[in-house]
Chain A
Amino acid sequence: MTAREAGLVACRRCARVWPMGTERCGRCGSHLVSRDTASLGRVWALWFAGVICYIPANTNPMLITQTLLSSSSSTIVGGAVELLNHGAVGVAIIILIASVLIPVGKFLAIAYLAISVRRGSNVSARRRHHLYEVVEFIGRWSMIDVFVVAILSSLVQLSVVASIHPGSAALTFALSVIFTMLSAQAFDTRLFWDTKDQRNDTT
């Protein structure tokens, strides 16, 4: 039985329940909604913002390296390929997972989850909820590439010998990660668990 079926509205912040129709949680002060059906609109808006930022994040340079003889700029994927050529397979894989696999996987997962809430799905609520938890947990780790750029460009400032500067992709990539994190947070996970007829008599 759910709080909703019992005629109660639950606080998502502190788990306290209140009679249906209560506006604000008396314990923690959060705004109370039994099912936030408007959340899907926010999820999609932030999702699009994230996807749009992800495009320049891949086409523009992430790092600009200047050495005595040359100046080169590398994109996210280009930098990982360079590492592969140097034999640093492990780090290249970390970068590729954190900057390509996780963001793209997150876009697909959030889109799938949002569609499944609207249309219903054959996949059980538990599995979809599990997918959501994975998305929430690993989403933050995409920021690792931005931090690497920050560390490198503050540390490698060796006059003429070598210096590293951040490229504009660092900014768009960070924005993309932030937007997708907000998109995932906007989700009302309780929507997974309602069956189709329950959903129809909601709102």
Chain B
Amino acid sequence: MPVGPPNLCRMNGAMSVASADDTTPGRADTLGGVPLDALMACPQCDALYEARMPKEGERAVCARCHTVLIAPKRKAGLKIIALTLAVIILVFSALFFPFLTIDAGGFGNKASILDSASSFQSGPMVFLSVAVAGMIIIIPLVRTLLILYVLVPVVLDRTPYAHARRAFRLTQELKPWAMAEIFAIGCAVALVKVADLAHIGFGPAFWMFAVLVIIVLVNDNYLCTWSVWKSLELDQQEA
């Protein structure tokens, strides 16, 4: 059984294989022997390790600060691409269908996600509309598209597209600002807040959005950033 997605991590198999618990710090004298690209440092605490692919289902964890360093998953590349395509379809359909509906005393209203994002309209509040739209729609979508852009050539074993490394760095930088899942919990809170004021219904977009949130979370779980960087580096050397 191959360790990790065969294409995504192909260089690492050749390098060395070890389990999570013996990621021992490299010693100074091995620095001369071990090439620098076979080493890695914990981004959080700077502990130095000899980078080795963990066994399937295991994770390489920093012995000092417990940050997860490498977490390969089987066929991650293909799974991520499939999920990413689903995300794109869902985002576009969730945008335009009604999201939540309300009626009280004979008056009714529907709101789509776009309506929610653009509800701050007076003066400086427009900034807030832009920020909300970005956090719940644009940033998750852009991240998804960029991940697709980076991973498709890697999985197909081709040279990465132009600027793939810059694109992947951007996905990492944007990660904390993608807040679709927080918006989803916000919906639940909003529903309870107006429950005694009016009757609330879910539009089709609500369910699409719920699925979307789950996919985005699962997707991030599959993505082993170290493996992706490794394969981008390899392709760069070949080119």
Residues of A in contact with B (beta carbons under 8 Å apart): 1-8, 10-19, 27-30, 83, 86, 88, 90-91, 94-95, 125-126, 129, 136, 140-141, 143-159, 161-162, 164, 166, 168, 170-171, 174, 178, 181, 185, 189-190, 192-193
Known: A28-B168, A157-B109. A151 touches B116 (CB 8 A): yes
CB-defined contacts of B127 to chain A, threshold 8 Å: 171
A137 to chain B, nearest CB (A): 10
Which chain A positions have C-beta within 8 A of B47?
A: 1-3, 193
State whether A162 and B198 are in contact (beta carbons under 8 Å apart), knowing that A146-B132, A154-B115, A156-B109 are contacts in the complex.
yes
B14 within 8 A of A: no
Q: Using a Cβ–Cβ cut-off of 8 Å, how many residues does chain B contribute to the interface with A?
A: 73
Compute how far the CA of A13 lies from the CA of B176 in the bound complex, rounded to whole angstroms: 14
Residue of A nearest to B100 (CB): A155
Give the distance in Å from the alpha carbon of A13 to the alpha carbon of B103 in the complex.
Answer: 49
In the bound complex, residues from chain A placing their C-beta under 8 Å from that of B168 are: 28
A-B contact sample (18 more), CB < 8 A, given A147-B190, A159-B107: A8-B36, A13-B172, A15-B226, A88-B192, A129-B65, A140-B179, A143-B182, A147-B187, A150-B117, A150-B128, A151-B116, A155-B100, A155-B102, A156-B102, A158-B107, A166-B128, A171-B127, A190-B46
Can you list 9 A-B pairs, Cβ within 8 angstroms, ordered by A?
A1-B47, A4-B46, A10-B46, A13-B172, A14-B225, A148-B190, A152-B193, A158-B103, A166-B119
- A171 contacts B165, C-beta separation under 8 Å: no
In the bound complex, do residue A6 and residue B131 qualify as a contact, i.e. CB atoms below 8 Å apart? no
B217 proximal to A (CB < 8 A):
no
Considering the chains assembled together, what is the distance between the CA atoms of A42 and B142 in angstroms?
A: 27
Residue pair B45, A192 in contact (C-beta under 8 Å):
yes
Q: How far is the CB of A62 from the nearest CB of chain B, in Å?
A: 12
**Cβ–Cβ contact A6 & B28, under 8 A:** yes
Closest to B43 in A: A12
Cα(A15)–Cα(B23), bound, Å: 14
Residues of chain A lying within 8 A (CB to CB) of residue B196: 86
Q: Are A95 and B229 in contact (CB under 8 A)?
A: no
Is residue B124 within 8 Å, beta carbon to beta carbon, of the partner chain?
Answer: yes
CB < 8 Å: which of B44, B102, B115 contacts A189?
B44
Hey, which chain A residues are within 8 Å of B136, CB to CB? 147
In the bound complex, residues from chain B placing their C-beta under 8 Å from that of A181 are 176
- Footprint of A on B, CB under 8 Å? 25-28, 31, 36-37, 39-48, 51, 64-66, 69, 100, 102-105, 107-109, 111, 115-120, 124-125, 127-128, 131-132, 135-136, 165-166, 168-169, 172, 176, 179, 182-183, 185-187, 189-190, 192-198, 200, 225-226, 229, 232-233, 236
Q: How far is the CB of A8 from chain B (nearest CB, A)?
A: 7
Report the Cα distance A110→B125, complex, angstroms: 28
- List the B side residues contacting A30 at CB < 8 Å: 169
The residues of B that contact A18 with a CB separation of less than 8 Å are: 36
Chain A residues, Cβ within 8 Å of B116: 147, 150-151, 154-155
Known: A3-B46, A15-B226, A148-B190. A193 touches B65 (CB 8 A): yes
Report A-chain residues with C-beta under 8 Å of the C-beta of B120.
Answer: 150, 153, 166, 170-171
Beta-carbon contact of B43 and A11 below 8 Å: yes
Task: Assess whether B39 is in contact with A17, with CB atoms less than 8 Å apart.
Answer: yes
Closest beta carbon of chain A to B137's beta carbon, Å: 12
* Residues in B neighbouring A14, C-beta threshold 8 A: 225-226, 229
